[in-house]
């Protein structure tokens, strides 16, 4: 069973590596959004340091949401999703494989890129480290939650916009604790409590969301 | 036991529920109008003036019951959805869909009156208070549900997709509420303190309860009206619906 | 079992419902006496469904596609076995080309290659013969015959009849009342 999961991850990552533009669009979107804020707010470093955690996290939220629509769409169009639905294996497990691959393709690059962007906002090394940790724990939760919305809106005309509407309210806890972790660090309170809560949310999401996504996929493909 | 089960399931068929909804709607309209009229009278003329907030506080007689209803209706919708997914009853999904606009309306009223209340009390239309923020998120959840159901052409898929979304939402609401509260205390932002229970006058509480019951009756009435049109729209092809349309024409 | 009927008569819908992709509006589909949604994994273990879509990833080559598919089916396929299989069905030389460079007929053959390694008892095939050349049609008929003679079942929509040597053939035409049963 875990072997199948590994196969699905491997397949999706291989495909993504063969079509690199998809990976880069998400990443470039993230970079651009975050670079826009100083232009709107002004280059004052004190202000930028203050808004940095929120800006980076909102950027990550939007970027990972943008990539969601593609999560099941290609498989839906070419018929491989049908085969996954008909596989003699628990569907939630296969869903986890899809989400892990999706995170590796769209989430992990954001985590890697974030410290560089944090430097633009003059964040301290300590804050940058916490930011990476918070993103590392938080973005998989975003992908897991987002998978539900992606499955529910599969193949709909208004898919992309609808995903945003469905998923953003669910992202709020991750945003609060993710940005909160970085902010707590810069204000000297320490972000470990926030990070533990992000970890707890990741575990909960890992247990709960694949079931909902699997149910949604069955509904949407029917 | 067996008999009772059969009776319940009898009304889970849209064809039998339709006439029932038609009979119930006017009754609940009447109850709603009477209760809200009494409630409004009490809130304007009977309830005492608050010694701190003056007359401005009277808006809570709408604000608080509306907030209650907005949360309660979401739970009811999720309940109907769970029933629909488990027992595969179409009517349950229709009930969820019939309730959604009312729930969204109450969430909106709650925010609207909240900001009307905030202006004289704090001098600002919007306060990022934990409760108001949660109410805003609840409104987003309602809008998301309605948008999803409206975007799917296949009714069966729309029913089930909406139901899954509601259940996901219901699981998430406590987490969202908790995190918003944490965020609020952490930032030491505005926290709206209602009059504590101790200082809540009995007439005030009674007024609030009457308003809440009135809103409740209104929600049922509105849902009954809406579910009738949903049933007719969905079952337009069936013989009983055709006969009914024939009778009316 | 052949399923026939004019376009739009619901052949594909019926096949998808039988496979468990669609939920039946009324009635119930059973496998081994139990509703399929209760015994989903066991049922899908015994089921091979091929729809209109080839279920191939355009960016992967045929070998990767087949091995991936086999892994999802919990019926792993070794790399050299996949090469051998593709050579057997006349796709030598295409093994490591991304599927997007293959012709329609070649793609269909890659998709159908699953039948040669299938251990499922029930095959549900939606228009398996479309886009195939004469030689491939013969090969496909042969593999279906072999499957049936092993005691397997097949439900297909087609305009092409498989010539059978044994077993029961049931012809269902949607829109008519009674299935026609013939013994070969």
Q: Is the pLDDT at C171 greater than 80, yes or no?
A: no
Contacts within 8 Å (CB) and 24+ apart, A203-207: A204/B175, A205/A140, A205/A141, A205/A144, A205/A145, A206/A96, A206/A140, A206/A144
Please name the helix (run of DSSP H) or strand (run of DSSP E) that holds residue C35, with its range, or none: strand C34-35
In this structure, the strands spanning C168-173 and C47-50 are unpaired
**A83 touches C at CB < 8 Å:** yes
Order of strands across the sheet that contains C122-126: C47-50, C122-126, C153-157, C2-4, C168-173, C180-183
Question: Rounded to 5 degrees, what are φ and ψ at C157?
Answer: -100, 135
Strand partners, C125: C50, C156
**A2 touches C at CB < 8 Å:** no
Strand partners, C3: C157, C172
Q: Are A180 and A194 in contact (CB under 8 A)?
A: yes
Mutate to test the interface with C, among A20, A82, A95 (most CBs of C within 10 A): A82
Q: What is the pLDDT of residues C134-165, one digit of tens each?
A: 888 888 888 888 888 888 888 888 776 666 65
Distance of alpha carbon C57 from alpha carbon A92, whole angstroms: 21
Q: What is the pLDDT of residues A5-38, one digit of tens each?
A: 888 999 999 999 888 887 888 899 999 999 999 9
Distances (CA, A) of A181 to A38, A97, B183: 22, 28, 11
Coil, helix or strand at residue C84: helix
Distance of alpha carbon A215 from alpha carbon A211, whole angstroms: 6
pLDDT bucket at B197, cuts 50 / 70 / 90: very low
Chain A CB contacts of C52 under 8 Å are 79
Distance of alpha carbon A98 from alpha carbon C115, whole angstroms: 25
Q: Is C178 exposed, middle or buried (0-12, 13-18, 19+ CB in 10 A)?
A: exposed
| B179 to chain A: closest CA residue | A173
pLDDT > 90: percent of chain C: 0
Q: What is the pLDDT of residues C123-140, one digit of tens each?
A: 998 888 887 888 888 888
Distance of alpha carbon A133 from alpha carbon A142, whole angstroms: 14
Question: Rounded to 5 degrees, what are φ and ψ at C49?
Answer: -115, 130
Please name the helix (run of DSSP H) or strand (run of DSSP E) that holds residue B204, with its range, or none: helix B202-234
Nearest to C69 by CA among C89, C92, C85: C85
* Span C78-93, average pLDDT: 82
Look at A212 and B167 and tell me if their CB atoms are within 8 Å.
Answer: yes
- Domain range for A28 is 2-220
Q: What is the pLDDT of residues C52-84, one digit of tens each?
A: 888 888 888 888 888 888 888 888 888 888 888
Distance of alpha carbon B68 from alpha carbon B131, whole angstroms: 12
pLDDT mean across residues, chain C: 81
Look at B179 and A172 and tell me if their CB atoms are within 8 Å.
Answer: yes
| A220 to chain B: closest CA residue | B157
Q: Chains with 3 or more CB pairs closer than 8 angstroms to A?
A: B, C
Tokens describing residue C159: 């305009």
Distance of alpha carbon C153 from alpha carbon C171, whole angstroms: 14
**A188 touches B at CB < 8 Å:** no
pLDDT at A147: 95
**A208 touches B at CB < 8 Å:** yes
**C58 touches A at CB < 8 Å:** yes
Chain B CB contacts of A222 under 8 Å are 156-157
Contacts of B234 (CB under 8 A, 6+ apart): B14, B90, B94, B155
| A212 to chain B: closest CA residue | B164
Please name the helix (run of DSSP H) or strand (run of DSSP E) that holds residue C153, with its range, or none: strand C153-157
Look at B164 and A152 and tell me if their CB atoms are within 8 Å.
Answer: yes
Residue A164 distance to chain B (closest CA, Å): 9
Count the domains in chain A: 1
Chain A CB contacts of B165 under 8 Å are 148, 152, 166
- Looking at the predicted complex, does its ipTM rise above 0.85? yes
Contacts of B7 (CB under 8 A, 6+ apart): none
Q: Are B162 and A153 in contact (CB under 8 A)?
A: no
Residue A51 distance to chain C (closest CA, Å): 42
- The pTM score is 0.88
pLDDT at B8: 58
Return the domain boundaries, chain B. Answer: 58-192
Look at A212 and B143 and tell me if their CB atoms are within 8 Å.
Answer: no
**A9 touches C at CB < 8 Å:** no
Listed by number, the residues of chain B in 186-215 with a beta carbon closer than 8 Å to a beta carbon of chain A are: 186
């Amino acid at each position: 069973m875990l072997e199948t999961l590994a196969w699905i991850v491997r397949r999706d990552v291989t495909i993504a590596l063969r079509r690199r533009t998809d990976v880069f669009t998400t990443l470039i979107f993230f970079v651009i959004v975050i670079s826009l804020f100083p232009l709107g707010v002004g280059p004052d470093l004190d202000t930028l340091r203050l808004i940095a955690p929120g800006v980076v996290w909102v950027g990550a939220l939007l970027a990972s949401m943008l990539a969601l629509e593609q999560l099941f769409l290609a498989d839906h169009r070419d018929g491989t999703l049908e085969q996954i639905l008909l596989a003699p294996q628990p569907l939630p497990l296969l869903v986890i494989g899809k989400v892990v691959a999706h995170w590796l393709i769209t989430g992990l690059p954001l985590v890697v890129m974030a410290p560089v962007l944090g430097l633009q906002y003059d964040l301290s090394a300590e804050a940058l480290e916490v930011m990476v940790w918070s993103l590392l724990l938080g973005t998989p939760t975003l992908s897991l939650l987002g998978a539900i919305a992606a499955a529910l809106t599969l193949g709909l005309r208004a898919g992309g916009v609808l995903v945003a509407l469905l998923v953003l309210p669910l992202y709020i806890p991750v945003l609060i604790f993710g940005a909160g972790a970085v902010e707590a660090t810069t204000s000297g309170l320490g972000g470990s409590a926030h990070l533990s809560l992000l970890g707890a949310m990741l575990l909960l999401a890992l247990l709960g969301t694949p079931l909902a996504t699997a149910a949604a996929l069955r509904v949407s493909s029917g | 036991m067996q008999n009772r089960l059969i009776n319940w399931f009898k009304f889970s068929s849209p064809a039998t529920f339709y006439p029932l909804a038609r009979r119930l709607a006017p009754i609940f309209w009447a109850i709603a109008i009477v209760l809200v009229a009494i409630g409004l009278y009490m809130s304007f003329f009977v309830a005492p003036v608050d010694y701190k907030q003056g007359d401005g506080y009277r808006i809570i007689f709408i604000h608080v019951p509306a907030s209650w209803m907005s949360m309660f209706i979401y739970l009811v919708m999720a309940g109907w959805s769970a029933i629909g997914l488990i027992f595969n009853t179409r009517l349950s999904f229709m009930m969820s869909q019939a309730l959604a606009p009312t729930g969204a309306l109450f969430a909106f009223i709650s925010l609207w009156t909240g900001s009307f209340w905030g202006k004289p009390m704090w001098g600002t239309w919007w306060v990022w208070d934990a409760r108001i923020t949660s109410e805003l998120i609840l409104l987003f959840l309602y809008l998301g549900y309605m948008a999803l159901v409206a975007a799917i052409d296949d009714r069966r898929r729309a029913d089930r997709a909406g139901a899954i979304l509601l259940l996901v939402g219901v699981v998430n609401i406590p987490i969202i509420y908790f995190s918003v509260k944490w965020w609020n205390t952490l930032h030491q932002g505005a926290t709206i303190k209602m009059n504590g229970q101790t200082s809540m006058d009995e007439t005030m509480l009674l007024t609030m309860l009457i308003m809440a019951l009135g809103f409740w009756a209104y929600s049922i009435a509105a849902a009954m009206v809406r579910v009738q049109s949903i049933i007719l729209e969905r079952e337009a092809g069936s013989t009983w619906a055709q006969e009914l349309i024939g009778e009316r024409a | 079992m052949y399923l026939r009927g004019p376009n739009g008569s619901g052949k594909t819908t019926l096949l998808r419902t039988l496979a468990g992709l669609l939920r039946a509006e009324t009635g119930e589909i059973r496998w081994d006496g139990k509703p399929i949604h209760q015994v989903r994994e066991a049922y899908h273990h015994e089921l091979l469904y091929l729809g209109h879509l080839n279920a191939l990833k355009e960016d992967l080559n045929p070998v990767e596609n087949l091995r991936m598919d086999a892994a999802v089916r919990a019926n792993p396929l070794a790399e050299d076995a996949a090469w051998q299989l593709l050579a057997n069905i006349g796709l030598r030389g295409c093994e490591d080309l991304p599927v997007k460079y293959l012709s329609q007929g070649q793609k269909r053959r890659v998709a159908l290659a699953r039948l040669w390694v299938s251990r499922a008892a029930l095959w549900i095939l939606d228009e398996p013969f479309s886009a195939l050349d004469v030689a491939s049609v013969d090969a496909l008929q042969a593999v279906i015959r072999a499957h049936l003679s092993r005691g397997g079942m097949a439900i297909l929509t087609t305009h092409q009849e498989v010539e059978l040597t044994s077993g029961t053939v049931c012809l269902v035409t949607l829109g008519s009342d009674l299935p026609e049963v013939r013994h070969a």
